[in-house]
């Protein structure tokens, strides 16, 4: 039972989780404002503004930096993790989403099927634009500042 108590009392983990939750929650009103559609499923989905991956990892890194010092090993590890995650979100995962869009168009144009059924459309909202990644990083920083200053 102390394992769960320790998790609940881990201020850095809670900061990171708040960063993730806030980003996912913000995707709903942002989608409503930008795309003029209410889509509750945006809370569970990947991609979009702001990047919850960025908010999650940056909230952790900044929280550690504030409490443990920006010259600590823990901050260095969290910073590197955040950088890798943000680079991946704006690079590799975004490219995978673009590839999925192209493959969806090709299968529709060629009317490709599998066992007589049309191919299932691939998920295209996987990664983030640099602005979405930056927005998540700013959100994560604000949350860490609020929680740890």
Backbone angles phi, psi at 117, to 5 degrees: -100, 140
Which has the closest alpha carbon to 12: 55, 64, 56, 71?
64
Per-residue confidence (pLDDT) for residue 118, from 0 to 100: 76
pLDDT in single tens digits along all 149 residues of the chain: 698 888 899 999 999 999 999 999 999 999 889 888 887 778 887 778 899 999 999 999 999 999 999 999 999 999 999 999 999 888 776 677 777 778 878 877 777 777 777 777 777 666 778 899 999 999 999 999 999 98
Cis omega (within 30 of 0) on the bond before 121? Answer: no
pLDDT tens-digit readout, 81-112: 999 999 988 877 667 777 777 887 887 777 77
Q: Element (H or E) spanning 113, and its range?
A: strand 113-114
Per-residue confidence (pLDDT) for residue 26, from 0 to 100: 95
This prediction's pTM: 0.80
Per-residue confidence (pLDDT) for residue 109, from 0 to 100: 76
Per-residue confidence (pLDDT) for residue 139, from 0 to 100: 98
**Measuring CA to CA, how many Å separate 125 from each of 45, 89, 96, 103?**
8, 11, 9, 14
Per-residue confidence (pLDDT) for residue 137, from 0 to 100: 97
Strand, helix or coil at 17? Answer: helix
Task: Give the separation between CA 134 and CA 47, rounded to whole angstroms.
Answer: 13
Whether residue 84 contacts residue 133, with contact meaning beta carbons closer than 8 Å, is answered with: no
Per-residue confidence (pLDDT) for residue 125, from 0 to 100: 63
DSSP-derived secondary structure letter, 38 = -
């Amino acid at each position: 039972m102390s394992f769960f108590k320790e998790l609940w009392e881990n201020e850095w983990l809670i900061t990171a989780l708040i960063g993730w939750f806030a980003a996912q929650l913000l995707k709903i009103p942002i989608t409503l404002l930008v795309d003029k559609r209410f889509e509750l499923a945006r809370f569970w989905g990947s991609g979009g503004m702001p990047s919850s991956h960025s908010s999650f990892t940056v909230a952790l890194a900044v929280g550690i930096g504030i409490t443990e010092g920006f010259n600590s090993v823990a901050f260095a590890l969290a910073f590197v993790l955040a950088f890798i995650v943000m680079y991946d979100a704006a690079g590799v995962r975004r490219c995978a989403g673009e590839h999925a869009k192209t493959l969806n168009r090709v299968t529709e144009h060629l009317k490709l099927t599998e066992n007589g059924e049309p191919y299932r459309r691939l998920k295209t909202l996987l990664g983030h634009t640099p602005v979405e990644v930056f927005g998540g990083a700013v959100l994560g920083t604000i949350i860490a500042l609020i929680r740890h200053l």
